[in-house]
Amino acid sequence: MNDQAFTIDDHPVPFRRGESIMEAALLAGIYIPHLCFHPLLEPHGSCRLCTVEVNGKPLPACTTPAAAGLEVTNDTEALNQQRRTLLQLLFAEGNHCCPSCEKSGHCELQAMGYWLKMLDSPFPYLFPRRALDASHPAVLLDRDRCIFCERCVRASRELDGKEVFALAGRGLNTRLIVNSPSGRLGDSDLEASDHAARICPTGALLVRGEGFRTPIGKRPFDGKSLSETCLQRAAALLKEGKESER
């Protein structure tokens, strides 16, 4: 029953018990920017891009349960400026070189930059040196592009029933590690058909041989904005999920 509602930027949003602000918003066709959230996965609350103001208090929309009467503020210049800063930090912290990346046009990090109208990053670029893992015949792991959202970690555990990935270290030493005797992807039980291999929002995990199947200029974010694509995807997946729960 959709008998309860809260508001996002003064629009009434219905919700079902147990839904997060993010889920209810996406089902209602309201976009809240996000990178670590994925409709098929348990929320992680780490990228902080989905931070909204709930009754005046900043909270991540993906981990905050919807509740009747909440007043949520989402699409304001102040919140989008904070999101832009978070994104600029992500770009400066990794090695995100769009011109040489085959994920360009498919990449949610890049599309988020377009959506937030990010022109540059004012921070010093760290140019970290991270190990590339090309040992798997079907999947490439380019840690330069990892933003530590743990989508692959969660997908492997929750959807694939494996535990191929984890994060190790802290702060600037955080890195994506692989669960195999050698620590190499080629020795893990990851398969190209796994959700984990395909759920990366950036070009950190790439299924080989598919990168240029869609030509540049015709890729999802070449024509459509991130919000449009995310809303369609989320609505489809979340509705499917709700149906199957009944």
Q: How far apart are CA 193 and CA 199, in angstroms?
A: 11
DSSP result, 67-79: -TT-EEE-S-HHH
Nearest-approach distance from CB 128 to another protein, in angstroms: 9
Select 107 or 200, whichever has its Cβ closest to another protein. 107
Q: How far is the CB of 176 from another protein (least distance, A)?
A: 17
Q: Which is nearer to another protein, 97 or 236 (CB)?
A: 97
Place of tokens 């995807």: 233
Nearer to another protein, 134 or 236 (CB): 134
Whole-number Å distance between alpha carbons of 172 and 90: 12
Query: Residue 13 or residue 87: which is nearer to another protein going by CB?
Result: 87
- In the chain, DSSP finds a helix count (H) and a strand count (E) of 7, 10
Residues lying near another protein in the complex (CB under 8 A): 91, 95-101, 104-105, 110, 113-114, 117, 119-122, 124-125, 127, 129, 216, 225
Smallest distance, another protein to C-beta of residue 26, A: 22
Nearer to another protein, 118 or 159 (CB): 118
Which amino acid would we find at residue 11? H
Q: How far is the CB of 115 from another protein (least distance, A)?
A: 9
Half-sphere CA count of 44, side-chain side, radius 13 A = 21
Cα-flanking dihedrals φ and ψ of residue 233, to 5°?
-65, -50
Q: Least CB distance from residue 38 to another protein, whole Å? A: 23
